[in-house]
Amino acid sequence: PINLKLINQKLIAPKPFKFDYILAVGRLSRSKGFDILIKSFAKSDLKSIVKLVILGEGKERDNLEKLIVKLDLENQVLLFGKVDNPFIYMKYAKFFILSSRYEGFANVLLEALACGTPVIATDCKTGTSEIIENGENGILVPVADEEALKVAMEKLFNDRELYKRLKTNTRRSVERFDVDNIVKEWKKLFE
């Protein structure tokens, strides 16, 4: 569950960057698939238009930094580390990407949607498809498919109608996961 009231309070802050960016957030581990995301971004047309910002720390940081240098993306991909308020980064991102190789119930997807940010996520068969309705509040792509991820990123960035539809549906789609609504449902069960 998420706390929409708390998230809303944290959204009152200035834009973190002057440039446009897409965002990923998570522990820098192999399971999160940031290497796949960076390779997909490198192949995309987006690398000359927006930056890719990744928030988080972990044991894969060195490998990801080497990959960024190898792909000549030092100015386009930013490993920004851990931040106190990831919600403000989510709010101003063009869209959010979850590139995990496997995932449980991804609270970070709920958080991005609660910030009004459309999502592209890998269809890990557990978790992501419970949150993302493909084509309604986000886009699901096959796990570890660099080409599908690249195509989805370019499509979401370039297709204004799709972007507007997904953005319109973001907040509504997470209301059922709000802690206040969950408490109400539990109370109904015990009445």
d(CA 82, CA 54): 9
**Given a cut of 80, is residue 158 above it in pLDDT?**
yes
Task: Give residue 58's domain range.
Answer: 4-190
Contact (CB, 8 A) for 101 and 26:
no
Predicted pLDDT of residue 89: 98
Mean pLDDT of 5-33: 96
Q: Poorest-confidence range of 17-31, 101-115, 145-159?
A: 101-115
Name the most confidently modeled range: 92-96, 122-126, 171-175, 187-191.
Answer: 92-96
Phi, psi dihedrals of residue 120, rounded to the nearest 5°: -115, 130
Token pair listed for 158: 């370039």
Structurally, the chain folds into a number of domains equal to 1
CA 20, 10, 127, 139 dihedral sign is: negative
Section 50-75 average pLDDT: 99
Radius of gyration of the chain (CA): 16
Strand partners, 119: 96, 138
Cα–Cα distance between 75 and 52 in angstroms, integer?
A: 10
Q: Is the pTM of this model over 0.85?
A: yes
Give 70-107 pLDDT, tens digit per residue: 999 999 999 999 999 999 999 999 999 999 999 888 99
State residue 182's pLDDT score: 62
The model's pLDDT over 23-46, given as tens digits with 9 standing for 90+, comes to: 999 999 999 999 999 999 999 999
> In Å, how far are 120, 123, 153, 154 from 148, measured between CA atoms?
11, 11, 9, 10
**What's the CA gap between 26 and 86, in Å, rounded?**
10
Q: Is the pLDDT of residue 163 over 80?
A: yes
CB-CB contact of 111 with 6 (8 Å): no
DSSP codes, 107-124: HHHHHHHHTT--EEEE--
pLDDT at 160: 97
pLDDT band at 180 (very low <50, low <70, confident <90, very high): low
Q: Quick check: 185 pLDDT over 80?
A: no
Residue 64 near residue 32 (C-beta atoms within 8 A): no
Question: CATH number of the domain that 79 lies in?
Answer: 3.40.50.2000
Please state, rounded to an integer, the average pLDDT across all residues of the chain: 93
Instruction: Give the C-alpha distances (Å, rounded to integers) separating 130 from 12, 56, 126, 133, 182.
Output: 29, 24, 7, 8, 16
